[in-house]
Amino acid sequence: MSEIAELRAQIQELHNIIRGMMRRVTMKNVNDGGKTQTASIEVADGVWRDGIEVMQPYGFASHVGDGALGLALALGGDEGDIMLMPVANPSARMGKLDENEVGLYNAAGDKFVLGAGGEMTLKSGQQITIKTDAGVFITAQILKVEGDIEATGDVKDHAGTMQEMRDKYNVHNHTGGPPPTPLMD
């Protein structure tokens, strides 16, 4: 074999090794109950590997359904040491973001978008719950609410609470007349 043919064979072998280290895979059976998320992946047509670790960026987590796509890496070219890079689910992708926008989303269509100009949009088809032991503080020029507001505690502004206003209303009268009826609770 000539030196050029031998060099070509070596380059082809190196190409095959590198190509074998990374591949696009389909996922199923995602397990999100352990220290790391794992999944089964199809590494070749009909060939599945189970218990493959799924890497996720710190602070972000998702649990995709069967059929999601991932990029599998055979670390050091070792087929026994495969991990998945963060995964995609094209069938549930949010898309249609403007340039420099960032979005978080789920398959149900709920989303949080950080706009390129500093605006933020939160959309949910269900109830949004905020839990904190420290309170929620909003600093804004105006707070607009479309719909009713309910409170289980006191509602207060710079002049006092709504309960204080009710208490004053319930005892007032007009020039010696009776107090108002019905009384406000």
> Which CATH number, 3.90.1690, 2.40.50, 3.40.1000, 2.60.40, labels domain 3-89?
2.40.50
- pLDDT at position 180, please? 83
For the segment 12-30, what is each residue's pLDDT rounded down to a tens digit? Answer: 998 888 888 899 999 999 9
Residue-wise pLDDT tens digits, 70-84:
999 998 888 889 999
- Across 122-137, average pLDDT: 93
For the segment 102-117, the average pLDDT, to the nearest whole number, is 92
Round to whole Å and give the CA distance between 112 and 105: 6
List CB contacts of 126: < 8 A, sequence separation 6 or more.
110
Give the bridge partners for 54, in sequence order. 37, 84
Quote the percentage of the chain above a pLDDT of 90: 54
What mean pLDDT is reported for the chain?
A: 90
Peptide bond into 182 cis (omega under 30): yes
Q: Which residue has the tokens 């105006």?
A: 142
Confidence label for 3 from pLDDT (cuts 50, 70 and 90) = very high
The pLDDT confidence band at residue 54, using thresholds 50, 70 and 90, is very high
Asked if residue 118 has pLDDT above 80, the reply is yes
Say how many C-beta atoms besides its own lie within 10 A of residue 38's C-beta. Answer: 19
Residue 122 has pLDDT above 80, yes or no: yes
pLDDT at residue 1 is higher than 80: no
Domain boundaries for CATH 2.40.50 within the chain: 3-89
The amino acid at residue 167 is: D
> Is pLDDT of 181 > 90?
no
pLDDT reading at 111 higher than 80: yes
What is the rounded distance in angstroms from the CA atom of residue 54 to the CA atom of residue 85? 6
This prediction has a pTM of: 0.67
Q: What is the pLDDT of residue 170?
A: 86
Partners of 138 in the β-ladder: none
**Mean pLDDT, residues 148-162 taken together:** 90
pLDDT band at 92 (very low <50, low <70, confident <90, very high): confident
Instruction: Please tell me the distance from the alpha carbon of residue 75 to that of residue 45, in angstroms, as a whole number.
Output: 21
The pLDDT assigned to 168 comes to 86
